[in-house]
Structure 1
Amino acid sequence: MPTYFWPLILTICANVLYQLSARSVSHTIDPFFSLIITYSAALLGSLVMFLISGSHQSLNYNFHQLNWASVTMGLSIIFVEFGYMLTYKSGAPIGSTPMTVNIGLTLLLIPIGLIFLQESLTLRNLVGVVLAVVAFYLITS
């Protein structure tokens, strides 16, 4: 069994909860106020998990290991969540919205991986890309 199996299951389950939560945000609340509460809960949860994990380095060590990626990931998550909230508020279906987003994301990341990260594209990957494009067309038409 691949070593990423359990983290993948955790990610899928967390994404199900995320999509259900994003779909259930009140249509009358300011989305950015909702994000303030979301990030407050995430900060508290992350702090508790950091403290109880027992496998962490000192705060000083961790601060010195930070780079731009932690900040840009946080900023990008704001717009991912805001985008999902607006998409669901406009009436998009929960059953196909995440797939549409992920197919579009995959189609953008493939050339980035090829050009900047020296990743390879096999024939099998190429067939998957073609199927993803077909799926994207079928879902959005």
Structure 2
Amino acid sequence: MNNLNYLYIMPILLVILSNVFYHTFSKNTPSDVNPFLALIATYGVALVSSILLFFLTKKESLIMEMSKMNLSNFLLGLAVLGVEGGYLLMYRNGWEISKGSLIANMCVSVIMLFVGWLLYKEGLSMKKLAGIAICIVGMFIINTK
């Protein structure tokens, strides 16, 4: 496998593996602990790990790196809080791990096709529209008893 393939495939494998662990650990977070205290512990580990990884991978000074950031970096924190808090609350309120993450991710995928088309001028082909239809049908099939 050449470097381009490795650099292309490894991030998606990291996302997939991390998501599997993410949902497993979210589902197993004790239901009697305040979900936001649980997220404080989660973010504490993420903060310490990110600091270590920053210093292991930095190319420029902290000030120079910080000057490159924009509002999106901070708004992403709110989005992550919504995702993580939402999943914790979703699982606590009875969602099955096999259905909840699948339905949420299908909905996100459908919405992101339109976001990509409207904001980033990505193509919206008949193949993508067919995929949306299949996702919607799949959500109905999954939820029928």
The interval holding the TM-score normalised by the smaller chain is over 0.9
Aligned to 1:93: 96
Aligned to 1:32: 36
Higher relative contact order (CA 8 A, sep 6+): 1
Aligned to 1:134: 137
Unaligned runs of 5+ in 2: none
SS in 2 for 1:120: coil
- The normalised TM-score by structure 1 is 0.92
**How far is 1:56 from its partner?**
2.7
Change (3 A) 1:57 1:140: farther
Q: Is the 8 Å Cα contact of residues 50 and 56 (structure 1) preserved in structure 2?
A: no
Aligned to 2:115: 112
Q: Which runs of 4+ in 1 moved over 6 A?
A: none
**How far is 1:94 from its partner?**
0.9
Task: Report the RMSD for the aligned CA atoms in angstroms.
Answer: 1.4
2:65 to 62, 73, 85: 62
Aligned to 1:125: 128
Question: 2:70 corresponds to which letter in structure 1?
Answer: N
**How far is 1:4 from its partner?**
2.0
Separation in structure 2 between the aligned mates of residue 8 and residue 36 of structure 1, nearest angstrom:
27
- The normalised TM-score by structure 2 is 0.90
Separation in structure 2 between the aligned mates of residue 36 and residue 47 of structure 1, nearest angstrom:
16
Aligned length: 140
1:13 to 10, 17, 25: 17
Percent of paired sites with the same residue:
28
1:41-74: CA deviation from partner (whole Å, max 9, x where unpaired): 0000111111122x43211111110101111111
